[in-house]
Copies of this chain bind each other. A is one copy, B any other.
Amino acid sequence: MEIGNLIKRKSEWLRGEGPKSNIVMSTRIRIARNLDGHMFFDWANDKQRKETLENGIAALKKCSFFKKTFLLKMKNVSELDRELLVERHLMSREHAVDVKHKGLVMEDREVLSIMLNEEDHLRLQVLRSGFNIMEGWRMIDEIDTELGEHLTFAYSSKFGYLTSCPTNTGTGLRASVMLHLPALQVTDQVPNVYEAISKLGLTIRGFYGEGTEASGNFFQISNQVALGYSEMDILDNLERVINKIIAREEDTRDYLVKNKKQETADNIFRSYGTLKSARVITSRETIILLSAVRLGVDLGLIKDIDTGIINELLLLMQPAHLQKMNDKEFTPSERDMKRADLVRERLGGE
């Protein structure tokens, strides 16, 4: 597997397809598992870490899905390639540092990925295009079940699955939905969403993960706690809340089209014009403009491109992707030029 090949294709989850893909970019389901009788990774010594990695790999190799995947040992992956995997949401930023005894199993189409020896011994992730919580859950549940046939997971009858961080203990489940909410944003309704979310045991983050601010109207909403509820309760709750947010966003889009038609179109076409013209552009500005263009596609105002191109650009415009594509290291200001070149070229600008 040449990691650089990843950037030549579109990941399955970027296709801009699937249920409610006008508002939901992607759905991610992740479960955390640890090996019974082994120290958690952060407390383990070198020998113990080596053991959990090897045991994990051995079990994975026995699973039917393994033949569709490939295995990366982090220490053999270059820094730039690790950064690329992080940017593609295939693994966490933490998994890219202190790489000894860390591994990644991933599918070619980038739906399934499994981190070995991140904070937990095993972190299974399924990433799908559109609003696909239950489908994602079925996939990951199947994988978890098969893997459980070849490994004994750390489990307490009182707490459920044991994890390195107590917020994951119980189900080990985190489901996240990446929403695009430009209409709620422009009508100042996002603070209401934040307020409702926090009361319902959910949390909200930006496109580029934990600790990043929500930018360009992309919001990642996920369950905050994994303990005290069944998997189905957690997923149902998330699905119900997200459905309400989607309905509100759709209503507000209708309102904008009916009542703020000219301003909305103006912002959309100016953003599109700027992306097709700029010679220097920061990632922050790019995401804001791509958000407006995505709305333009969703509203049928922009017809010559599809959502998939926009989703892909959100990924490709990141530093490691730009450097990998050009096969060259760049300073931040060179990146801003290369980013502008990329965006212009992909959107058919001048």
Contact = CB atoms under 8 A, between A and B. Distances in A.
Q: Which of A262, A278, A279, A349 has the most CB of B within 10 A?
A: A279
Nearest to A273: B277
A273 B278 contact: yes
Interface in A330-344: 337, 340
A121 interface: no
Interface string A275-312: 01111100000000000000000000000000000000
Interface stretch (A251-259, A263-271, A313-321): A263-271
A274 interface: yes
A305 to B, nearest CB: 12
B266 A272 contact: no
A349 B265 CA distance: 14
Contact of A266 (B263, B265, B279): B279
A274 B275 CA distance: 10
- Per assembly, the copies of the chain total 2
A350 interface: yes
Interface in A92-134: none
Contacts of A277: 269-270, 272-274
A350 B278 contact: no
A337 B279 CA distance: 27
A291 to B, nearest CB: 16
Contacts of A266: 278-280, 340
A265 B341 CA distance: 13
B279 A276 contact: no
Contacts of A350: 269, 273
A218 B340 CA distance: 29
A274 B273 CA distance: 6
B265 A269 contact: no
Contacts of A349: 273
Contacts of A278: 266, 269-270, 273
A73 to B, nearest CB: 41
Contacts of A280: 262-263, 266
Looking at A270, A278, A340, the one whose CB has the most chain B CB atoms below 10 A away is A270
Nearest to A350: B269
Contacts of A337: 262
Contacts of A276: 273
Nearest to A277: B273
B279 A269 contact: yes
Interface of A: 262-263, 265-266, 269-270, 272-274, 276-280, 337, 340, 349-350
14 contacts: A262-B280, A262-B337, A266-B279, A269-B277, A269-B278, A269-B350, A270-B274, A270-B277, A273-B276, A273-B277, A273-B349, A273-B350, A274-B274, A274-B277
Given A262-B337, A266-B279, 14 more contacts: A262-B279, A265-B279, A266-B340, A269-B277, A269-B279, A269-B350, A270-B277, A270-B278, A272-B277, A273-B273, A273-B274, A273-B276, A273-B350, A274-B274
